[in-house]
Amino acid sequence: MSEETLDGKKGFDSAYANRVAECDGGGPIEGTRYAGRQDFKGRLTGDYVDVGDPPSRWYLMVDLTLRPDNFVGDAVWCLAGNTFLGEDGPTLPNR
């Protein structure tokens, strides 16, 4: 998800604030009806949003040092289960 605000229960987790992380997810392939994998690397802010029922946790990543060529945002929301601390670190828990 791009940097637009997510609706849901907002929170802050200081354990992840300012941590370097990587995340991957799906995104539309321009000019098609298909999606492909997208990789991001940046700094987690600690902000999160729990969306849906049952909820899925999304963390806000900024200061992107890796992003798809066609990604125009300065930040991205990363699904917890697809977000990794450091280069080979643990996956963030969903809740």
* Each residue's pLDDT tens digit, 31-66: 888 888 889 999 999 999 999 989 999 999 999 999
- Say what the pTM is: 0.80
pLDDT of 1 higher than 50: no
pLDDT of 27 higher than 80: no
* Domain layout of the chain by residue ranges: 9-85
**Residue 69 has which token pair?**
């060529």
Tell me the residue type at 84: F
**Which has more confidence, 18 or 35?**
18
Q: How far is CA 43 from CA 29, 36, 79, 85, in A?
A: 25, 23, 14, 10
The dihedral built from the CA positions of residue 50, 72, 40 and 86, taken in this order, carries a sign that is negative
Distance CA 4, CA 9 (A): 15
